[in-house]
Structures are given as structure tokens and as C-alpha cells.
Chain A
Amino acid sequence: MEQQLADLVAKVAALEKSSGMMGTIDIEIYYFWATAFMVLIHAGFLAYEMGASRAKNVLASGIKNILAFAFIVPTFYFFGWWIYLAFPHGFVPSSDGDAGLPWATAMGPNLSDNATGVFWAAFTLFAATTASIMSGAVIERIKVYGFVILAILLGSFAWILACAWGWHPDGWLLKSYGYHDFGCAGIVHVIAGFFTLGVLMNLGPRIGKFNADGSANDLPGHNIPMVLIGLMLIIVGFFGFLAACAILNAGGQWTNIYGEPMTLSSVAFNALMGFSGGLIGAWVMTRDPFWMMSGGLAGIIAAAGGMDIWYPPLAFIIGASAGLTISLFNDMLTKFGLDDAVGAVAVHGWGGVIGVMSVGVLASGYPGPDGSPGISLVGQFVGLVVCIAVGFIPGFVGSLILKIFGSLRVPDEAQMLGLDKAKVPVSAYPESGTAPAATVPAE
């Protein structure tokens, strides 16, 4: 009898160990593939930007976009992850960040830590997404190395600092104000949108965008179908993004990043309803397929802040409100002399503002986690102001410094000639006659 009991205890212990390991591996698998889906966001941004460029600038736009991704990955490894872990309390780093230093034992293959690598990868893709949002707005006239510096400033510094404050279980925006932003409407999209706004103010418009009397010309991209496919790829990738915003707890209920319980089904409901609302809203307003797809994206962004709690038809209405208004917001920017080639400030900046404030207006009263304040209009407004500041100030100041040193804007002659001919060693469409032949070797 005693032997049988001992065998039983041993079997239970073995089963518990096996179950625990399976849970750990489930977490790895989940975030690994969520990250893989997020790479589709970048496939989408690549197609989107190249399609939105004129034929003479297609490859230069593609190169710039790819480099945003390429430079975010190492810089986020060098210091981005450390910033997230070290700065949840403000500007003073805590020792919690030590685990994210690039020489920490967790920052490489480690049999006692299955989680850090996949979480780092997911956050790295968030960072690259943030930088890619800026990339489209500045096409056809920004210097690549200036852009790369700004992308690093945005993706591996500014965004992740705000993320530590407002998208971290110990972040001060949560602990002091109950800030709630499930899908990073403010933390990613407002920051990227307003960073881009600051850059556009210093960069200036493309040659030919505005007439002497201030009226604007349309500078259509060379391949609108490519733009539409790119936007749809971004949408697919966003499902990976939103999936990575949920925390898989082995053996327990899902939680959001703040530790509040939720279901992945809530994301399924509300991402689709927000997307649909944004598509229809923009279709009603513009009948333009470019703005329709952008509206769909803005719809998801606008619903993202409360995607874990919305009643789905409300997510639809919030998405529709973004779809109805983004083209108007872009028109307003154009009237101020700003040339946003893809409407990034409207889609991400304005869409993100709706996403943050809709939570404050329509979801106040939800309790916070572990004694943190609940959701409130004031808390969301404070979070929004912080996101705008953390986006706009580095974008404006960083691009101003680059401008002073002549490292921001491509000379007019090169813009007129086309950036592909100026500096790309191959031609986008060598047999079509629409793109110039190669001239300057890459050295």
C-alpha cells in the first residue's frame, strides 16, 4: 500500500512537471508565432510605401522602409528592452532593468528562461511597427541616414519609454491614473503619429505638392493596387500584434498587460468590428479605396484601447468614427502646409487619439488591477497628453537637429531626378520604360 502511494505521488509529480513545461512551451509557441504574424505588418508597409511612391522613387522608398526594421532590431536589443524594464516609475532607472541589459544572462539562449526571447521579439516588432508608421509619411524627400536616426529615436527610445510608463504592470500611468490602453492606441499609434507630425514640420513637403498660392496638388502613387494589398497585409499583421498584447498564463485565464483578466475572444470580436466600422466609415466619406483601407486600419486602432472590454457594436461605432474623420483630419493637415504622403498622422495619430479617449468617455468605472485606480476620463486624458508629448517633442527636436546639420532633406535636384536614379544601383521596372536606368553604384 505504501509503495503504491509512493508510486502515485511520483507519477503526480512527474505529471505536474510535464504540465508546467508544456505551459512554458505554449507561451513560447504563442509569442513566437504572434511575432511571425507581425512581420506581415512590415511586408504590408513595404508594399504600401512603394505603391504610394511615384515610379522614380519606388526602390528608394522600399530601401528606407526595410532599413527601419533592420536598425530597430539591434538597437532595441542594445538598449530598448532595458528602457522598458528600467523606467516604469519615470525618468529614474530601476534595477529591474538589469535583466534587460545586453549582457544579462536572460538576453540569449538560456535553458532556465524560455520567455525573455519571445517577449523581447514581440516588443521589437512593436518598436519596428512604430518606426514604420513614420516611414510612409516622409517618402520621396528624406535622407536615408537621417531617417534611420529618427527611426531609432522613435522605435528604440521614445516609444518604449512611454511603453514603460503606460503599458507595463508597474507603469506610473497605470498606478497613478489607471491608464488603460489594451492594444496600444496611445502607446504606439499616438506616439508614432505625433512623432511623424514633428518630423513633417521640419522636413517640408515634396516638390510640387503645393502651389505658390498655398493650394495643394495630388501626387498619386504609381501603384494603388499595391497600396491596397499592402494595407491588407498590415491588417493581417495587426492580428498578430493584438494577439501579442494578451498575456498567456499557463493554467490560468488570459490577462492584459496590466494583469486584468480578459479573453482572446474579446480581441476577435472587437478587432473585426472595429476594422469593419473603419472601412465602412471611410467608404461613406470618400469612396476612395486608399482611404477605405486606411479607414479599416484606423478603425482597429481606434478600437484598440478598449479592445478587451468593448461591447462589439460599440467597437464598430468607434471604428466608424475613425473611418469617417481621418480623411478630414488629413485635409486639415494639408491646409496647414504639411505633406503626409500616406496619411499616417491622420490614421495613427488621430485614430490613436480616438482610441485613448473613447476608453475614458465610454469605459470609465472599470476597476483597476491590484489597487490601481480604475479607468477614468482624467486618467485617459493624462495618458494622451503624455503620449503626444513623448511622440512630438523627440520627433520635432530630433528632426530639427538633423535639419540644421543638412541631414534631413534630399536636395531639390535629386528629388526632381528621382531618388532611384540618384542612389539606387538597380531599376524597379527595367523593361517598362517608366523607371530610370541605374547610374550610381552602391559602393
Chain B
Amino acid sequence: MASPITSWEGAAEYFTFAHSPAALYGILIAAAAFVVFAIIFDGIHETGAYKKISKS
């Protein structure tokens, strides 16, 4: 279950998976990996775009 609470009474941190460190780490790593991937992907796209210009 994604919910860390079963009642709003006395609830504090209530974000999804707040009770599951393993899930939090997994989501965090996935988010960070996407940031890194996006930068690398842009590098590949830009390099390809400039190579096309050099060839033409």
C-alpha cells in the first residue's frame, strides 16, 4: 500500500510510501536517474544534429 496512514487522527508525514524507506530510495533513484538520462540524451541529440550540419 502506498498510504503510510490508516487514519488522519495524529497523522504527521503522510506522503506516499513515507513508511517504506526501500520504496522511497527506489523512487528517488529513479527520479535522479531520469535527470541524468535527460542530460545524456540531449548530448546525443545535439551531437547528432551538429554532425548532420557538418555533413551537409
- Report A's interface with B, CB cutoff 8 A: 71, 74-75, 78, 102-103, 105-106, 108-113, 143-145, 148-149, 407, 410-411, 413-414, 417, 422-423, 440, 442-443
Contact = CB atoms under 8 A, between A and B. Distances in A.
Interface string B10-24: 011111001001001
Contacts of A148: 39, 42
Contacts of B1: none
19 contacts: A71-B38, A74-B31, A102-B28, A106-B13, A108-B15, A111-B14, A113-B12, A144-B46, A145-B40, A145-B46, A149-B39, A410-B50, A413-B50, A413-B53, A414-B49, A414-B50, A422-B50, A423-B46, A443-B45
A103 B21 contact: yes
B43 A407 contact: yes
Q: Which of B24, B52, B53, B54 has the most CB of A within 10 A?
A: B53
B2 interface: no
Contacts of B14: 109-111
DSSP class of B's interface residues: helix, strand, loop or mixed?
Answer: helix
Contact of A422 (B13, B24, B39, B53): B53
Given A102-B28, A108-B18, A109-B15, A145 B39 contact: yes
Contacts of A75: 35
Nearest to B49: A423
B35 to A, nearest CB: 5
Contacts of A109: 13-15
A109 B49 CA distance: 42
Nearest to B45: A443
Contacts of A102: 28
B45 to A, nearest CB: 6
Contacts of B11: 111
A75 B34 CA distance: 11
A86 B2 CA distance: 30
B32 to A, nearest CB: 6
B55 to A, nearest CB: 10
B52 A440 contact: yes
A112 to B, nearest CB: 4
Given A102-B28, A145-B42, A148-B42, A422 B49 contact: yes
A80 B7 CA distance: 33
Contacts of B53: 411, 413-414, 417, 422
A108 B35 CA distance: 20
Contact of B35 (A74, A105, A407, A423): A74
A411 B52 CA distance: 12
A110 B19 CA distance: 13
Across the A-B interface, give the 5 residue pairs with the lowest CB-CB distance, nearest first: A108-B15, A105-B13, A423-B49, A145-B43, A112-B12
A411 B46 CA distance: 11
B2 to A, nearest CB: 12
Nearest to A406: B47
Contacts of B15: 108-110
Contacts of A145: 39-40, 42-43, 46
A149 B35 CA distance: 11
Nearest to B12: A112
A74 B52 CA distance: 32
A442 B46 CA distance: 9
Given A410-B50, A413-B53, A443-B45, A105 B39 contact: no
| Residue of A75, A417, A440 ringed by the most chain B CB atoms within 10 A | A440
Given A109-B15, A413-B50, 20 more contacts: A74-B35, A75-B35, A78-B28, A78-B32, A102-B28, A105-B18, A108-B13, A109-B14, A111-B13, A143-B46, A145-B42, A145-B43, A148-B39, A149-B39, A407-B43, A411-B54, A414-B49, A423-B45, A423-B49, A442-B45
Contact of A71 (B35, B40, B54): B35
A406 to B, nearest CB: 9
Contacts of A440: 49, 52
